[in-house]
Amino acid sequence: MVLEPDDPAPEISAPNQDGDTVGPDWTGVSVVYFYPKDDTRGCTVEANEFQAELDTYREAGVTVYGVSLDGVDSHAAFADDQSLAFDLLADPEADVAEAFDVEMDRGVTARTTFVVVNGTVQAVYEGVDPSGHARNVLADLVETGVVTLD
């Protein structure tokens, strides 16, 4: 069963597309979105939309992480091809996905997004439609008062 609001965020670390180990300390607000596979249509749409909203996320103090079961090299090529400026966490052993209890099928994760605020899961989005998702999450953060935009 996927993590739910009020659950503690798991203590995880994973390499990003540059091969650097990233271990979110969960201070502040983070959006962690799981996606099935690099360079696929829906995943490219979702990544590009998070990139398009990235300045607004950062201005609001929100860190964005994308996670899939792809490896570092795949993430590096995907981030380079799409000009992504946020961390893509490589999870080929599914350690991060399992820590968040994300559903997996045929070697890919279900499209699931978590909002983590100061170490606690604040919101969970399952069965995500990649089109418009980044903007919807941002709107929800503002509407619920988690962040404010000037």
Catalytic site positions:
43
- Find out whether 145 and 64 touch, Cβ atoms under 8 Å: no
- Find out whether 24 and 63 touch, Cβ atoms under 8 Å: yes
- Find out whether 74 and 84 touch, Cβ atoms under 8 Å: no
Q: Give me the residue label for tokens 């400026």.
A: 85
Q: Cα 101 from chain centroid?
A: 14
Give me the amino acid identity at 77: A
The tokens for 146 are: 């988690």
Q: Tell me the CA distances in angstroms from 33 to 68, 87, 150, one per residue in order.
A: 9, 11, 25
